[in-house]
Amino acid sequence: MSASFRRMAKITASTKRPPALDANGMRGEPVAEIAELTCTPLDPAEDQKARDLALRLRQVIDGPFELLNTFVDASLDIVEGDVLVVSGVEYPVRGVDMWAWRNSNYLRLLLEQSKA
């Protein structure tokens, strides 16, 4: 992780991950996965990929929401379906992309923020 990225990644967060399906095909509540990580501030996601994802999500999410993005170190094990927790607020991870910046790789997380 570059020094300039560390200066921008000031937000402390953690992640949760849903457990595997049980014998009945049911999934329990997400449990702690990464205890602490740093990320960039959560900002509105406004690129074409975010707009396309928002269109697909509107078909399955009942209620208003906004897509946000943040960036984290690429070495972290974060996948779509995880939950990013920032200041006690849970944001479902709806997309994960590799993002190259200044000769380093990062993950861009697309997060759902409920507006209800």
**Tens of pLDDT, residues 22-56:** 888 888 889 899 999 999 999 988 877 777 777 67
Q: What is the C-alpha separation between 27 and 20, in angstroms, rounded? A: 6
Express as a percent the part of the chain with pLDDT over 90: 50
| Structure tokens belonging to residue 12 | 């402390």
**Tens of pLDDT, residues 92-109:** 999 999 988 878 899 999
**Architecture of the domain delimited by 3-114:** Beta Barrel (2.40)
For 91, half-sphere exposure in the C-beta direction (CA atoms, 13 angstrom radius) is 24
- Name the residue ranges covered by the structural domains of the chain: 3-114
